[in-house]
Amino acid sequence: MAVPTSEQCKLNLSFNMVDKTMTVSVQSTISSQGVDGLEYTLFYAEIVDPLGDALDIDEIYFDGNSGVGSQTFDAPLDSDGKVLNGAYAINIPYVVVSDGSPTTYTDVDSDFTLSYAAPVVDLSATIDCISPQFQSIDSTDYRVIDPTSQGYITPNTVTYEHNLYYPVTSNGYPNNTTETSDLKITRGSEEFYQGTQTATVSHEVSYTFVDGLVVTDTIDGDLETKVDCSTLLCGVTCGMNTLYNTMEANKVVNAKEYALNVQKFQLLSAKAMLAQMNIDCGDSTMATTIITDIRNSLGNCCDDCSAADGTPISGI
């Protein structure tokens, strides 16, 4: 059995940002040999946090047959309740390692710098009522800055979930959730619904920094997006019907009002025709603008003919 080096006898340090804990642990060489004949003993070891507070590392040992390879502590917190950034030191006056003949190491201290800010989830959504199509897109930059090199550290992904939840009135709720491990979710005809779609992201990550420090975290975020395809022509049909009926009713009893009704009906009908032309040509943005103008002209005159929340979107 090869005697480990002093570098291999040093302890690792990791932080769990969800549990708000810090763990000191032996390296793999010690843990594998520590149950295969190697004895490993720390003397007066401690971890010192950025506030200068010291905690004794007194549970780690290997006796050649078994042992304990790590010890976990509550991490110090800042005023926001997050794990405290700053300099952490593992001080070990000496380590004795023996595979029959003891070897003493005194150069086994370690220094680490925690400078961690969790990425902020960047979710966006696009809606096309005509095609139709709904997309939920995760554009989050999950990299963080390494305090030593000032370069980017890309995380190792432990688990990643990007899910889409539909309105409570939709068909099959709540079992019709779309669950994926993709950065982009695309839903087509009758695969999304009138009403609020909620996208969520949960990304469990692990970062290994240049000085050997390891940080694990779960990055969460969500976005609610209102799908309102009633801004298309169905949303103004009832109003146009009411205007038409009013115009016909005034035809023989009120010539002045009838003339005003005709003028308004012709103008809004022309706008509706233009909106339909834009729908046919695939320009949902221009169509929505025109139909919103028609809705404003009609005012709050009548019930909306648009679909109720939870109705599948099938396009035009």
Q: Do residue 158 and residue 63 come from a single domain?
A: no
Listed residues 114, 140, 158: the one ending a domain: 114
Q: Do residue 177 and residue 240 come from a single domain?
A: no
Pairing of strands 214-227, 195-208: antiparallel
Q: Do residue 21 and residue 68 come from a single domain?
A: yes
Residue 187: inside a domain = yes
pLDDT category of residue 284 using cuts at 50, 70 and 90? confident
**Number of domains the chain contains:** 3
Asked whether the beta carbons of 185 and 198 are under 8 A apart, the reply is no
Residue 310: inside a domain = no
Task: Annotate 216-252 with b (16+ C-beta within 10 A) or e (fewer).
Answer: bbebebebebebbbbbbbebbebbbeebeebbeebee
Q: Do residue 142 and residue 196 come from a single domain?
A: yes
pLDDT of residue 36: 85
pLDDT category of residue 205 using cuts at 50, 70 and 90? very high
Asked whether the beta carbons of 124 and 137 are under 8 A apart, the reply is yes
- Going by C-beta distance under 8 Å and a sequence separation of 6 or more, which residues neighbour residue 65? 35
pLDDT of residue 62: 94
What is the domain extent for residue 101?
12-114
Q: Do residue 282 and residue 268 come from a single domain?
A: yes
Q: Do residue 267 and residue 192 come from a single domain?
A: no
Residue 51 has pLDDT above 60, yes or no: yes
Asked whether the beta carbons of 290 and 275 are under 8 A apart, the reply is yes
Residue 175 has pLDDT above 80, yes or no: no
Mean pLDDT for the stretch of residues 50-57: 97
Q: Tokens standing for 305?
A: 């003919």
Closest CA to 114 of 73, 84, 149, 91: 84
pLDDT of residue 302: 57
Cα–Cα dist 304/316, whole Å:
18
35-48 pLDDT tens trace: 888 999 999 999 99
pLDDT of residue 316: 64
SS3 178: strand
Q: Do residue 53 and residue 133 come from a single domain?
A: no
| pTM of this structure | 0.78
In sequence order, what DSSP letters do the residues of 248-308 get, joined into one string?
A: HHHTTT-HHHHHHHHHHHHHHHHHHHHHHHHHHTT-HHHHHHHHHHHHHHH-S-S---SPP
Sign for the CA dihedral angle at 37, 4, 12, 44 comes to: positive
Average pLDDT, the chain: 91
SS3 180: strand
Mean pLDDT for the stretch of residues 184-193: 93
Residue 152: inside a domain = yes
Residue 303: inside a domain = no
How many angstroms separate the first and last alpha carbons of the chain?
74
Residue 4: inside a domain = no
pLDDT of residue 97: 94
68-116 pLDDT tens trace: 999 999 999 999 999 999 999 999 999 999 988 899 999 999 999 999 9
Q: Do residue 254 and residue 159 come from a single domain?
A: no
Q: Do residue 74 and residue 162 come from a single domain?
A: no
Asked whether the beta carbons of 125 and 162 are under 8 A apart, the reply is no
Q: Do residue 36 and residue 83 come from a single domain?
A: yes
Closest CA to 146 of 137, 155, 156: 155
Residue 314: inside a domain = no
Residue 2: inside a domain = no
**Cα 219-210-92 angle, rounded to 5 deg:** 105
Residue 243 has pLDDT above 60, yes or no: yes
Q: Do residue 24 and residue 80 come from a single domain?
A: yes
pLDDT category of residue 206 using cuts at 50, 70 and 90? very high
Q: Do residue 152 and residue 221 come from a single domain?
A: yes
Kindly report the CATH number assigned to the domain that includes residue 30: 2.60.40
Mean pLDDT for the stretch of residues 222-249: 86
Closest CA to 12 of 59, 47, 44: 47
Residue 292 has pLDDT above 90, yes or no: no
pLDDT of residue 69: 95
The share of the chain scoring above pLDDT 90, in percent, equals 69
Residue 43: inside a domain = yes
Q: Which helix (H) or strand (E) holds 29?
A: helix 28-33
Q: Is the peptide bond before 119 cis (omega within 30 degrees of 0)?
A: no
120-152 pLDDT tens trace: 999 999 988 878 899 999 999 999 999 999 999
